[in-house]
Every structure is written in C-alpha cells, then in structure tokens.
Amino acid sequence: GKLLNLTYIAMDEIKSIYKELGLDEEIEGYFDTSELNVPATFILTQNEGRIIYKYGKRDVSNRAPGGDLLDTLLKLRGPK
C-alpha cells in the first residue's frame, strides 16, 4: 500500500471500534499504528504495464463495479 500511496491512518475510527468492543485499555505487547491499506483494483496493459483502470475506496465493502472491469478487459482484448 505504501508503495502506491494507498495507506491511511485510521486511529480515530479504530479507537472508536475498539471502545465499542470494550477494548479501550492498553494491551501489553501490542502496538497498533492503525495503518490500513485501501482496497484497490488495477488493470494494466500487458506489454507496457500502463494503468488503464484503477479503483480504490477506503470502505472495504465498496469494490470496483464488475461491469467497469469487464468493459475495460474487453477493450484490452480488442476487436474479435
């Protein structure tokens, strides 16, 4: 994630979740940076490695639309 600049620090969000779960006290030997990777999808050209499609959202449940992926892959294949 760091290499592609797709990380973020979710300290406030994580602390809130931990507190809701009753985990608001320190845990011995546990170090949490709350550094998370953004789920992302990339489609690259085979020869040049050029990114022709990218999609990424912090919300883990928000994924690249299947129709977008299929359309992009069909364009890569070219005319039949």
In the prediction, which pLDDT does 32 show? 65
**Residue 9 and residue 37 in contact, taking contact as beta carbons nearer than 8 Å:** no
Strands (E), the chain: 7-9, 35-37, 40-44, 51-56
In the prediction, which pLDDT does 29 show? 62
Q: What does pTM read for this prediction?
A: 0.62
**What letter does residue 11 receive in the DSSP assignment?**
H
In the prediction, which pLDDT does 77 show? 85
pLDDT above 80 for 31:
no
What letters, b where the CB count within 10 A reaches 16 and e where it falls short, cover 45-63?
eeeeeeeebebbeeeeeee
pLDDT in tens, 1-12: 788 888 887 777
In the prediction, which pLDDT does 65 show? 94
